[in-house]
């Protein structure tokens, strides 16, 4: 998509998070990747969502939903009211429990859209550091998260200036190798991680999602 279209799509996504009931509470929305770097066109739109846990839970709703649809965890993993209103968008993990990240993807992104969602309970900056530390310890560079992000919305507050700067491509971002180096990766590891991220992004098609817990 061209740059204007990509930023419009980000605005629409943030509007929905801010104004509609999501499968789980969302605390932060960030953009990273091509759109944060000022590229035009934007080959893939990368979005990071920080989610909160559901407090209390609803055992009755969970039992009723599982009996009707065979999916566990409604009322605890995802909101019961959302699931009851949108049973067609409920997605389950391999163990049969409602998967928050997949439900968010089903709610926010169409299958054909070149959009990748990262969903985690931790903030973007904390998760960037956690994943880099783990990846460097295990040489698991596919786990690295591109740290060059822009915060768009947090705790109900939208950053209009961030959207304006995305439209103007005015964020000054380092190369991915340099960004990873600033976070503690040595040059060889940073280069290998950057190559892995670039390769994996090139292989993605349509909508994709990754869930993470820290």
- If residue 60 lies in a helix (H) or strand (E), which one and from where to where? helix 59-69
Q: What is the pLDDT of residue 202?
A: 85
Q: Kindly give the pairing relationship between strand 26-32 and strand 149-154.
A: antiparallel
Q: What is the pLDDT of residue 179?
A: 97
The distance from CA 147 to its chain's CA centroid, rounded to whole angstroms, is 13
Q: What is the pLDDT of residue 61?
A: 86
Q: What is the pLDDT of residue 175?
A: 95
Q: What is the pLDDT of residue 55?
A: 79
Q: What is the pLDDT of residues 11-46, one digit of tens each?
A: 999 999 999 999 999 999 999 999 999 999 999 999
Q: Decide: 87 and 70 in contact? Cβ < 8 Å.
A: no
Q: Kindly give the pairing relationship between strand 115-120 and strand 208-212.
A: parallel
C-alpha closest to that of 151 among 170, 125, 175: 125
What pLDDT tens digit does each residue of the chain (214 aa) get? 999 999 999 999 999 999 999 999 999 999 999 999 999 999 999 999 999 988 777 888 889 999 999 999 999 999 999 999 999 999 999 999 999 999 999 999 999 999 999 999 999 999 999 999 999 999 999 999 999 999 999 999 999 999 999 999 999 999 999 999 999 999 999 999 999 999 998 888 899 999 998 7
Q: What is the pLDDT of residue 54?
A: 87
Tokens found for residue 16: 């929905």
- Domain boundaries, given as residue ranges, for the chain: 3-53+104-212
Task: Give, as one character, the DSSP assignment of residue 52.
Answer: P
Q: What is the mean pLDDT of the chain?
A: 95
Residues 6+ apart with CB under 8 A from 71: 65, 83, 90, 92, 96, 97, 98
Q: What is the pLDDT of residue 59?
A: 84
């Amino acid at each position: 998509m061209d740059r204007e279209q990509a930023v419009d799509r980000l605005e629409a996504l943030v509007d929905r998070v801010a104004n509609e009931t999501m499968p789980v509470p969302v605390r932060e929305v960030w953009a990273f990747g091509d759109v944060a770097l000022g590229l035009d066109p934007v080959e893939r739109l990368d979005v990071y969502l920080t989610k909160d846990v559901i407090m209390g839970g609803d055992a009755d709703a969970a039992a009723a939903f599982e009996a009707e649809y065979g999916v566990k965890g409604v009322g605890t993993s995802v909101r019961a009211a959302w699931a009851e209103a949108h049973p067609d968008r409920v997605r389950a993990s391999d163990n049969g429990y409602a998967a928050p990240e997949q439900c968010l993807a089903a709610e926010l992104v169409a299958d054909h859209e070149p959009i990748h969602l990262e969903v985690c309970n931790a903030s973007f900056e904390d998760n960037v550091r956690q994943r880099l530390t783990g990846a460097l310890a295990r040489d698991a560079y596919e786990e690295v998260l591109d740290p060059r992000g822009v915060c768009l919305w947090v705790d109900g507050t939208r950053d209009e200036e961030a959207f304006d700067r995305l439209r103007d491509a005015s964020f000054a971002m380092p190369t991915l190798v340099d960004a990873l180096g600033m976070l503690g990766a040595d040059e060889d590891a940073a280069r290998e991680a950057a190559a892995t991220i670039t390769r994996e992004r090139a292989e993605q098609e349509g909508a994709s999602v990754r869930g993470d817990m820290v």
